[in-house]
Amino acid sequence: MAVDIIIYHNPACGTSRNALAMIRNAGIEPHVIEYLKTPPSRALLVNLIARAGMTARDLLRQKDTPYAALGLDDATLSDDALVDAMMAHPILINRPLVVSPLGVKLCRPSEAVLDLLPTRQRSAFAKEDGEPVVDADGQRVA
């Protein structure tokens, strides 16, 4: 079955790498967009935020970004201002953001991607740190 999945990915991020590996463990080869090299357009980013049922602040990454230096902790900033900051500094876009026929979701923790996959995991899966996520029968570990 051909499934169209898109992952906005940062290969330097373990959470993003784990989500990508789980997509592939389901037998799906996603469209991988390294958003730091190829950021989404403003219109697409606004669309993805809306489709995910989030606010711009929900998608805003604080850790290892210019978040504090830019004063983005100011609660009075509008979504438009936060999107402007993400467009100017794509590192502020949290990851991985995954788009599938089942929806759009910020997959933090990485196993949240399982909710977006229309096919089962093909084998056991553990995160890079060894934490088991899927058992040998392809079922999510509780």
Which of 5, 13, 48, 133 is an active site residue? Answer: 13
Give the residue among 89, 122, 94 at the shortest CA–CA distance from 110. 94
Our answer to whether residue 13 is catalytic in this structure is yes
CB-based contact 123:117 (threshold 8 Å)? no
Q: Which residues contact 112 (CB under 8 A, 6 or more apart)?
A: 19, 105, 106
Q: Give catalytic residues, as residue numbers.
A: 13
